[in-house]
Chains A and B, each alone.
Chain A
């Protein structure tokens, strides 16, 4: 019986019919999605922190308004994704708890500090650029609510990348000090951005499950290569360089070759030992704990109003 369901399920996926929350699905599919969607949501929420750092110090009112709008979008993206995960049966508070206790992870990129204004440019260009490269294929992922959330996210993400590139473009036309600041930011963020695509592809038999279920459509390395090819060209427009001496066009492959990623650093950051892991999680927990009285008060008020209405009826 179970096997019949599984066959019907896989058949739907193969025919590109989206799976909806009330449809039968393998338990492992549900769990993989809960994990992936909630971690994606956590990344959006934690992702507000590095940029929030610069809202009060943006160099002009125009930049400040843009940065505020971008950070607000990220809150929105987190909420779209949490609501998609909730359709799978997990509650919002459970997801928060997993984040706050460190059980659930978020993208390692947000554990790096934002040291200068140029970091706002590089985050938009590289970090959001890498995110878009990954998120566009997710618009066709097999689980309906996730795919629909990603369509919304992708529509809004394009402005994020363009405003970042614009910041860098303006700096590239600026003073020597501004150019140095921008190049320094690129140097610091380039490798962590490449790590965002996740570990290298390997030959493990476990690798195929997400592909078979059409949660994923491209491998980490495929997407990473695409990202390198695009950025290697875009950086020329800025007149800056990417910090990789092995970066070179390979005529035969039709792609850029690039240097070895420091995977040890990646795993260190994932496991909680990055420069800002503790700071990010502490900020998040503090906001949650200090907001508790507001949540309680709002609920108490709503209950009181409901009772009054009942009594009057």
Chain B
């Protein structure tokens, strides 16, 4: 006889069916508003930084929603939104080939060079 004890932690309330195994992550729904990535400048002089995403029917609505969702406590002075399908990303599987060449070039850093102690302000 075999039986399964399901362990549920906080925030995990189980499911009536067999876990999430039958969640399809392929289908797309035409009626769903597109997904937008949101970038916020927290104050003048700083870069816009990615904060999350949201759904909206167009760019104007995306900015208004971003205001409500991501800046309720004065977290931003400027918002960028980009439809998620327009984001192109590097492939994490190629991370090694992409970034390793920078690894063995210590001479690109100032600490690589031995200078006499008498030299000041350099």
Q: Is A56 an interface residue (CB 8 A)?
A: no
Q: Is A13 an interface residue (CB 8 A)?
A: no
A208-233 interface (Cβ within 8 A of B): 210, 216, 219-220, 223
| A270-B14 contact in complex given A31-B23, A89-B25, A210-B9, C-beta closer than 8 Å | yes
Complex contacts, A306 vs chain B, CB 8 Å: 58
Check if B72 sits within 8 Å of A31, measured CB to CB: no
Check if B33 sits within 8 Å of A299, measured CB to CB: yes
Complex contacts, B13 vs chain A, CB 8 Å: 39, 105-108, 270
Check if A204 sits within 8 Å of B5, measured CB to CB: yes
Q: Is B6 an interface residue (CB 8 A)?
A: yes
Check if B57 sits within 8 Å of A298, measured CB to CB: yes
Q: Is A49 an interface residue (CB 8 A)?
A: no
Over the window 134-178 of chain A, the binary record of Cβ atoms lying under 8 Å from chain B Cβ atoms (1 yes, 0 no) is 100010000001001100000010000000000000000000000
Q: Is A86 an interface residue (CB 8 A)?
A: yes
Q: Is B1 an interface residue (CB 8 A)?
A: no
Nearest Cβ on chain B to A4's Cβ, whole angstroms: 12
B54-73 interface (Cβ within 8 A of A): 54-55, 57-58, 61, 68-70, 72-73
Complex contacts, B93 vs chain A, CB 8 Å: 24
Q: Is A102 an interface residue (CB 8 A)?
A: yes
Nearest Cβ on chain A to B62's Cβ, whole angstroms: 10
Q: Is B19 an interface residue (CB 8 A)?
A: yes
Complex contacts, A102 vs chain B, CB 8 Å: 16
Complex contacts, B14 vs chain A, CB 8 Å: 105, 270
Q: Is B100 an interface residue (CB 8 A)?
A: no
Q: How far apart are the CA atoms of A228 and B76 in the complex, in Å?
A: 38
Complex contacts, B16 vs chain A, CB 8 Å: 102-103
Residue of B nearest to A97 (CB): B29
Nearest Cβ on chain B to A204's Cβ, whole angstroms: 4
Complex contacts, B106 vs chain A, CB 8 Å: none
Residue of A nearest to B75 (CB): A152
Q: Is A257 an interface residue (CB 8 A)?
A: no
| A134-B10 contact in complex given A295-B33, A298-B61, C-beta closer than 8 Å | yes
Check if B11 sits within 8 Å of A40, measured CB to CB: yes
Check if B6 sits within 8 Å of A206, measured CB to CB: yes
Nearest Cβ on chain B to A97's Cβ, whole angstroms: 9
Q: Is B44 an interface residue (CB 8 A)?
A: no
Q: How far apart are the CA atoms of A57 and B14 in the complex, in Å?
A: 35
Over the window 273-313 of chain A, the binary record of Cβ atoms lying under 8 Å from chain B Cβ atoms (1 yes, 0 no) is 00000000000000000000001101101100110000000
| A35-B12 contact in complex given A24-B93, A305-B58, C-beta closer than 8 Å | yes
| A31-B11 contact in complex given A83-B53, A86-B35, A295-B31, C-beta closer than 8 Å | no
Complex contacts, B2 vs chain A, CB 8 Å: none
Q: How far apart are the CA atoms of A134 and B72 in the complex, in Å?
A: 23
Complex contacts, A138 vs chain B, CB 8 Å: 11
Q: Is B28 an interface residue (CB 8 A)?
A: yes
Q: How far apart are the CA atoms of A132 and B73 in the complex, in Å?
A: 19
> Can you identify 5 A-B contacts, CB atoms within 8 angstroms?
A31-B23, A94-B24, A198-B12, A207-B7, A223-B10
Residues of A within 8 A of B (CB): 20, 22-24, 31-32, 34-36, 39-40, 43, 69, 72-73, 76, 79-80, 83-84, 86, 88-94, 98, 102-108, 134, 138, 145, 148-149, 156, 196-199, 202, 204, 206-207, 210, 216, 219-220, 223, 270, 295-296, 298-299, 301-302, 305-306
* Minimum-distance CB pairs A-B, first 9: A89-B25, A105-B13, A298-B57, A31-B20, A204-B5, A302-B58, A302-B57, A134-B10, A35-B20
Given contacts A216-B9, A220-B9, 16 further A-B contacts (CB under 8 A): A22-B91, A35-B12, A35-B20, A72-B72, A83-B52, A83-B53, A88-B25, A93-B29, A93-B31, A138-B11, A199-B8, A202-B5, A204-B7, A210-B9, A298-B61, A305-B58
